[in-house]
């Protein structure tokens, strides 16, 4: 079973609307969690990083939350733009060996 | 500061051919790693290195070799290409195992 599960697998939203992506993980021990944005044909680019003690982190219109007790994270996109169309990958890093566990990504398509 | 540079961007190989995917970073990062990304699957770790002269296997190492003779370079070698190795390959680097920076990828097709 994958250590990082993301939902929904894909979604289509209207330009200007908000959406929330979910990430549940079982990685332990936990070091930090990152959200990456991957445009089609490009490498992943880091959006946010959150450590154990952080609950919320924002990067422009992107806001990530973390509940380390329930091992859940979310990425909220506010006032979506066409350029937000991408795959959003949740990555959880283990404490100690710094191994990365990748989710399969949330595929977001923003339509006008 | 170019970040992580991967070459080539695209490659087509015949089954049984060998080749090397190049990865170079100019950020003096200690950690470097190679991943493959296949449709419907998350990125999977092939090999990684925590410093020059040190390499180790990841989740899917079979059919691939790596070496790390310098901090900057981390080439990935396909010994005898197979159709199952058709994928998009990403190289990434990190200062100490955090904050990975990814290259733009190499799209490999084995026919």
A1 pLDDT above the threshold of 70: no
**Of residues A8, A33, A16, A13, the one with CA closest to residue A102:** A33
Angstrom distance (rounded) from CA B44 to CA A91:
12
CB A30 within 8 A of CB A49: no
Task: Please tell me the predicted confidence (pLDDT) of residue A2.
Answer: 72
Which among B40, B45, B104 is the nearest to A43, CB-wise? B104
Best of B95, B100, B108 to disrupt the A interface by mutation (most A CBs within 10 Å)?
B100
Average pLDDT for A29-53: 92
Task: Please tell me the predicted confidence (pLDDT) of residue A97.
Answer: 74
- DSSP-H helix ranges across chain B: none
The one-digit pLDDT tens for each residue of chain B (111 residues) are 679 999 999 999 999 999 999 999 999 999 999 999 998 888 999 999 999 999 999 999 999 999 999 999 999 999 999 999 999 999 999 987 667 899 999 999 999
* Contact state of B90 with A89 under an 8 Å Cβ cutoff: no
DSSP-assigned states of every residue in A2-58? -SEEEE-SEEEEETT--EEEEEEE--SSEEEEEEEEE-TTS--EEEEEEETT--EEE
Q: What is the mean pLDDT of chain A?
A: 93
Report the gap between the CA of B57 and the closest CA in chain A (Å): 12
Task: Please tell me the predicted confidence (pLDDT) of residue A17.
Answer: 97
Least confident of A7-21, A28-42, A92-106, B70-84: A92-106
Angstrom distance (rounded) from CA A19 to CA B64:
40
Task: Please tell me the predicted confidence (pLDDT) of residue B64.
Answer: 97
A63-104 confidence digits (pLDDT tens): 999 999 999 999 999 999 999 999 999 999 888 777 889 999
By the 10 Å C-beta count (0-12 exposed, 13-18 middle, 19+ buried), A67 is classed as: exposed
Angstrom distance (rounded) from CA B73 to CA B70:
6
CB B49 within 8 A of CB B25: no
Would you call B103 an interface residue with chain A, using a CB distance cutoff of 8 Å?
yes
Task: Please tell me the predicted confidence (pLDDT) of residue B2.
Answer: 76
């Amino acid at each position: 079973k994958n250590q990082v599960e993301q939902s929904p697998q894909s979604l289509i939203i209207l330009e200007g609307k908000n959406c929330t992506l979910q990430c549940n993980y079982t990685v332990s021990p936990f070091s930090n969690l990152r959200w990456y944005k991957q445009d089609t044909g490009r490498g992943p680019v880091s959006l946010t990083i959150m450590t154990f003690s952080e609950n919320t982190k924002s990067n422009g219109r992107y806001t990530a939350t973390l509940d380390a007790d329930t091992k859940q994270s979310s990425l909220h996109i506010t006032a979506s733009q066409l350029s937000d169309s991408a795959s959003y990958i949740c990555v959880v890093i283990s404490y100690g060996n710094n191994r990365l566990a990748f989710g399969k990504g949330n595929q977001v398509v923003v339509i006008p | 500061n170019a970040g992580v540079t991967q070459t080539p961007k695209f490659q087509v190989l015949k089954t049984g051919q060998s080749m090397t995917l190049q990865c170079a970073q100019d950020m003096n990062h200690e950690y470097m790693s190679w991943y493959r990304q296949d449709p419907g699957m998350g990125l999977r770790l092939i090999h990684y290195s925590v410093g020059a002269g040190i390499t180790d296997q990841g989740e899917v190492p079979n059919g691939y070799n790596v070496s790390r003779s310098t901090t900057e370079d981390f080439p990935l070698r396909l010994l005898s290409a197979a159709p199952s190795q058709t994928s998009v390959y990403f190289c990434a680097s990190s200062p100490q195992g955090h904050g990975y920076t990814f290259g733009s990828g190499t799209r490999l097709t084995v026919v």
